[in-house]
Amino acid sequence: MMGDKSYDAKITRLLADVYSQRILSYTYRKPMSAQKLSALCHIPIAACYRRIHDLERAGMLFIADEKEIYKGRKVKLYRCSLRHAVLRFSDGKFKVNYDLIIEPNGNDGGSLQTDLPASPIRSRETDLSDGEGRDLGDYGGQTI
């Protein structure tokens, strides 16, 4: 998937999406449930779950904890794993550079500190054009 223009465009759309930005911002310091995110971010619950799923698939959000709240009913708490993202325009092309925190020892992220560690990280730069100068980063209101 790495280097795939379609994947790069999806990442760009995800980072440019207001709902995704709110979810990532609220979960940066503290894990939160979808229900709490929906209420705090003023996002309809269905849209919130869609963005959470998209962010999880992109590696920008992970399940930090799972808590039992009532008679066996469990709620997942999500945490941002995006450390850094920059959108640049250079030589007629848009490029996104972002760093993801890799969960230490493959655990569920519960041991991550509030001040996110300097390492380990996974860094990626994407070119948002299709090679012919056409920008692939236009969201166009589509759900990814």
**Distance of alpha carbon 78 from its chain centroid, rounded?**
11
d(CA 138, CA 121): 27
User: What values do phi and psi take at 25, rounded to 5?
Assistant: -65, -45
CATH number of 5-127: 1.10.10.10
Can you give the pLDDT at residue 69? 84
Tokens of 50: 């869609």
d(CA 57, CA 18): 18
- Label residue 84 left, alpha or beta by phi (over 0 means left) and psi (-120 to 50 means alpha): beta
Which pLDDT belongs to residue 84?
87
Please tell me the predicted confidence (pLDDT) of residue 117. Answer: 37
Q: List average pLDDT for each run of 10 residues in the chain, which is 144 residues long.
A: 70 90 95 96 96 94 92 93 86 83 49 35 49 41 34
Q: Where are the beta strands (DSSP E) in the chain?
A: 61-70, 73-80, 82-90, 93-101, 121-127
* Spatial separation of the C-alpha atoms in residues 121 and 7, rounded to whole Å: 20
pTM over 0.75: no
pLDDT at 32: 96
